[in-house]
Amino acid sequence: MATDDKIDGTTSAVPLKTDATGAAAGSATAQPTGGKEEAKSRFNSALDEAKAGAQALRGEASQRAGAYKEQAKAKGGEYAEQAKAKGGELAVEGKHKASEALTSLSRLVAENAAKIDDNFGPKYGDHARNAARGLQDAAAHIDTRSYDELTGEAREFVRKNPGLSVGMAAFGGYVIARLFRR
């Protein structure tokens, strides 16, 4: 490739040789880094483009995560309301069954009070009748109170009588363990 070399406004007719990168070969002023600079420039622009793409993906992921979070929060709230309603229904049903069980036990004790009078004496029969009345009163108390009122009363009893509460829980656990052991 022959080109004119311009020095101080004059031209020379000496052809200039170039290498594969287009730099002048054999000259002291030729720099083989022209290709490296271009490669660095392209690499840096690709790197900047990749960073911008990653930033855009991060923003999109953040938006999607926020949308999924809101959906999960809404569904969680719905499920919590359903569970609360179902729990309330089950609590009322359990309260009713407990009241029925206490009433049945009260009737059983009252019916057997006469037999206790005959076998053990009137003093023990009176104790049985008093226990039957206490069970009947407890059943009526459970029926007349709401679940929240009963919970509050139980908490208050535990606060006032912690030792008795622990003893009752231990006894109840023992009885339940004996029932399931058989």
Dig out the tokens for 106 from the structure: 């009260």
- Distance in angstroms (rounded) separating the CA atoms of residues 88 and 72: 24
Q: What is the pLDDT of residue 160?
A: 95
Q: What is the Cα–Cα distance from 94 to 98, expressed in whole angstroms?
A: 6
- For residue 174, what pLDDT is reported? 92
Q: Give the predicted TM-score (pTM) of the model.
A: 0.50
Tokens of 2: 């022959």
**Rounded distance, CA 32 to CA 26, Å?**
11
8 A C-beta contact, residue 18 and residue 24: yes
pLDDT at 12: 47
Low-confidence spans in the chain with pLDDT less than 70: 1-34, 182
pLDDT for the residue numbered 27 = 45
Q: How far apart are CA 94 and CA 101, in angstroms?
A: 10
Predicted pLDDT of residue 162: 92
